[in-house]
Chains A and B, each alone.
Chain A
Amino acid sequence: MGVFNAIARQFDRATIIAFGCIGVLLLIGSLAEPAFLSPQYLIQQLHVASFLGVVATGVMLVILLGHIDLSIPWTIGVGGMMATGAVSILGPEWGVPLAIPFGICCGALIGVINGLGVAYLRAPSMIFTLGMNAVAQGLMVYHTGGFAPQDRATELMRELTVGQLIPGVPNPILIWIFVGAAAMFMLNRSTLGRQIYAIGNQERAVFLSGVDTRKVILICFVISGACAAATGVLLAGWANRSYQAMGDPYLLPTIAAIILGGTNVLGGRGKYIGTVAGVILITILQSMLSVVQPQRYFAQLGLDFPADTFRQVVFGLVIFGMLLIYGRQQLVR
């Protein structure tokens, strides 16, 4: 009974609605295209979702604190480009085995600077991480001289992204499960997790309780940077190379996924399972829109809309629909 309760506590209203929406989406999709319910398609979607899932894990911690990390796009870029560029920076002897740790450490370093700025300088996180994003972009552009980097992903990176340790399950899914389980354990069972939720609610009170809140904030930003860089490493392995702006399509889906999962943007409330639901929901939504191609139906009516129109509009409308169901705030009274 105790175990059952512990599991049930993880599913708040938002999470259940998000999972319900995933089911409804798949059902509607399967009416149009039966292949949507096939195991291959679902595994493939989880594979794609795991990239978003890893980066969302880190950002969720920051959002739970009541801050935000807008440096995600280029931290992903830094992770990917530093991992593939490690050979030319560290030399061939060290560069190949250390490629992945090097990429993740560079991302964590960005997180350290973000954390120092937000926690110790008390700068608004939105603008500070925005500035860091630009700085990271500038450094990467400087590193490559404005061209696409020529470095290839290492064998290990390829293996991590496309290989299958368990037959039928691509490795990124395992990585996401591992990262997610660690995050869930931390949020629910560790002091750090309790402190994160508490800071999101009232940092002052946490400080008065004798917690070094600045350290907690710093740690969360470092984790966020490391997770983003890890996503960058995975993406570089997937594409077999790194490229400029590889992280650009990830900022909005990441924030949207976390918020669709019921995490309060102002911090202090949210379950990791909700983020998982949000990530899967966003991924399936994006995939379905590119498979179903609603523009074909409009083309029959003589209206020529580009495919991206629907992706953007539906994306926006779904976020509204979900939020109006469960994201509403208290009235000011």
Chain B
Amino acid sequence: MNAPTKAIGSAPTARRSGPRFRLTAAQRGILLAAGIFAVMFAVYGWKQSVGLTPNVINTAANKGALLALVAMAQTLPILTRGLDLSVGAVFVLANCLASSVVVGDPMMTGVGIVVVLIAGLLCGALNGVIIVYGRLQPLIVTLATGAIFFGVSLAIRPQPGGSVNFEFADFMTRSTYAVPHSVILLVMVVVLVWIPYRRSVLGRAAFAIGSAEQAAYMSGVPIERAKVLAYALSGFLAAIGGLLLTALTYSGAAKITIANDYTLNSIGAVVIGGTSLFGGVGSAIGSIFGAFVMRTVGDLLIVFDINPVLQPLFVGIVLLVAVSIGSLRILRIKNKLDLYR
């Protein structure tokens, strides 16, 4: 897609090379989500009384980045045609853990961050191991592990509270030259985690499993390892989100509503980002934009002077519209049988 002019050549060449310049479904999803976000954010900036100051951008970025990380975490299992209903609980668990261990001098803080990330990785790996070797449905497994993870976070932090290393928290939520550090964090996660994963054998295996598990197995794809890795990385990303939440709130709180809210919104963000719930198609980058779309809905309500308690209504409508756009394909279907799986 780097050179559209190249496609315009002599007619036979164009026909032959035509498909090469077509965007994949995942890329179209990313572009659509990014477009919706750009429009929404532009409207937000235009209606905002103070305009898009670095402060406004930073606040919006921090809020969006939280959901974006959880949504990226949700993307990986969904790509394998699974689902992770425990991302919200891992997110809260990481938050509670971080509010206890990410304290003290820089050395202690560093160790604490690593501990939180490893805890997230282990939670995800536990999901994966149970799903793969227990041969159970992801939906119900993560429902159950979600309850367990939430129980553990309650044990860590029965009452909201705790603290976090101030410099670390400030650094994570500040912005430099109007570029919020949370956005840099997202870019780093994409560059250091998502892209290497996408290109690795196990990452491609995850896509293959999502498209057709049977065929993937027949082709010698390492199904078991790929699935465990997808869930483990999901826990890891959710834990990064939990760290960022701790940095934003300076405390930890084990609230079931937070866990549920992030789990449900993450699924919405994944869908808006163009990832198919049936697996095999999609991208974590799309989920980032999906998350920002979900969060900008709330901001738009405020600038349009609509009662903020109505936010769920609009988030719901955005979700319904997003899935209904996807169902436009039924207008193109020639054979009615294609409707049915």
Contacts and interface: CB of A to CB of B under 8 A. Distances in A.
Interface string A312-333: 1101110110011001111111
A310 interface: yes
Most A-side CB within 10 Å, residue of B135, B150, B311, B316: B316
Contacts of A324: 134, 136
Interface in A73-106: none
A242 interface: no
A133 interface: yes
Contact of B309 (A141, A266, A312): A141
Interface stretch (A1-9, A34-42, A184-192, A300-308): A300-308
B337 interface: yes
Interface stretch (B65-73, B101-109, B198-206, B322-330): B322-330
A237 B260 CA distance: 27
A43 interface: no
A310 B314 CA distance: 36
Interface in A113-137: 117, 121-124, 126-128, 130-137
B215 to A, nearest CB: 10
A90 to B, nearest CB: 23
Nearest to A295: B155
Contacts of A316: 144-148, 151
A319 B316 contact: no
Q: Interface size class for chain B? A: 35 or more
B122 interface: no
Contacts of A21: none
A328 B320 contact: no
A256 B278 CA distance: 22
A124 B147 contact: no
A204 interface: yes
A203 interface: yes
Contact of B316 (A126, A138, A146): A138
Most B-side CB within 10 Å, residue of A124, A131, A133, A204: A131
Nearest to B223: A332
B118 interface: no
A255 interface: yes
Interface in A24-62: none
B309 A320 contact: no
A131 B209 CA distance: 27
Q: Interface size class for chain A? A: 35 or more
Contacts of A136: 316
Interface stretch (B1-9, B185-193, B264-272): B264-272
B144 A126 contact: no
B152 interface: yes
Nearest to A133: B316
Given A133-B316, A146-B307, A323-B134, A127 B151 contact: no
29 contacts: A70-B264, A122-B327, A123-B324, A124-B277, A127-B277, A127-B319, A132-B316, A134-B319, A135-B313, A136-B316, A139-B313, A142-B307, A146-B307, A146-B309, A204-B340, A252-B147, A255-B143, A256-B144, A259-B137, A259-B140, A265-B140, A304-B158, A309-B154, A316-B146, A319-B144, A320-B134, A320-B141, A329-B135, A332-B213
Given A141-B312, A207-B340, 20 more contacts: A122-B327, A123-B327, A130-B319, A131-B268, A133-B264, A137-B312, A138-B316, A142-B309, A142-B310, A203-B340, A204-B340, A207-B337, A265-B140, A306-B158, A312-B151, A312-B154, A313-B147, A316-B146, A324-B134, A327-B137
Interface of A: 68, 70, 117, 121-124, 126-128, 130-139, 141-142, 146, 203-204, 207-208, 213, 248, 252, 255-256, 259, 265-266, 304-306, 308-313, 315-317, 319-320, 323-324, 327-333
